């Protein structure tokens, strides 16, 4: 399964770097995408990823002042995904402070396992992107 990880660009991305520097392995099918903050992501970004064949999406936020906001937004996104026929379980969130970088390997392994269990995602009508989700 293909997993797209939106990674906050300072703290969470540094945590991802530490995973590599410490030679910890996470699934090869995780594609990290640098973003200034996951708080800036819109539901349309997530839906677009699924419409292009991504099996699961992860949001990794490292800025402590934004953790609760991003958690709340992920819950809202999950509710909306359920409404449009996409399994909300395919969207995950974790905080990613640098000292906790080791947990990222397990996080991605669990996400990969879940995506394998669910199989391919259902087709999404991309016209909802134009209507505004």
Q: Give the CATH number, domain containing residue 71.
A: 3.40.50
User: pLDDT tens digits, the chain, 133 residues: what are they?
Assistant: 999 999 999 999 999 999 999 999 889 999 999 999 999 999 999 999 999 999 999 999 999 999 999 999 999 999 999 988 899 999 999 999 999 999 999 999 999 999 999 999 988 776 766 665 5
The structural domain count of the chain equals: 1
Say what the pLDDT of residue 130 is.
66
Question: What sign for the dihedral angle of Cα 4, 101, 104, 91?
Answer: negative
Residue 114 has a CB neighbour count (10 Å cut-off) of: 17
Residue 8's domain comprises: 3-131
Say what the pLDDT of residue 123 is.
86
Residue 25 has a CB neighbour count (10 Å cut-off) of: 10
Give the CA-trace dihedral at 3, 35, 41, 64, to 10 degrees: 100
CA 27 to chain centre: 14
């Amino acid at each position: 399964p293909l997993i797209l990880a939106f990674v906050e660009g300072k703290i969470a991305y540094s945590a991802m770097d530490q995973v590599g520097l410490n030679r910890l392995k996470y699934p090869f099918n995780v594609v990290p995408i640098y973003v200034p903050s996951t708080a800036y992501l819109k539901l349309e970004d997530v839906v677009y990823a699924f419409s292009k064949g991504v099996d699961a999406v992860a949001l990794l936020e490292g800025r402590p002042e934004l953790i609760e906001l991003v958690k709340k937004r992920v819950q809202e996104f999950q509710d909306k995904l359920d409404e449009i026929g996409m399994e909300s379980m395919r969207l995950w969130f974790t905080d990613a402070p640098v000292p906790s970088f080791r947990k990222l390997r397990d996080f991605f392994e669990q996400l990969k396992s879940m995506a394998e269990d669910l199989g391919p995602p259902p087709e999404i009508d991309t016209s909802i992107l134009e209507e505004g989700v």
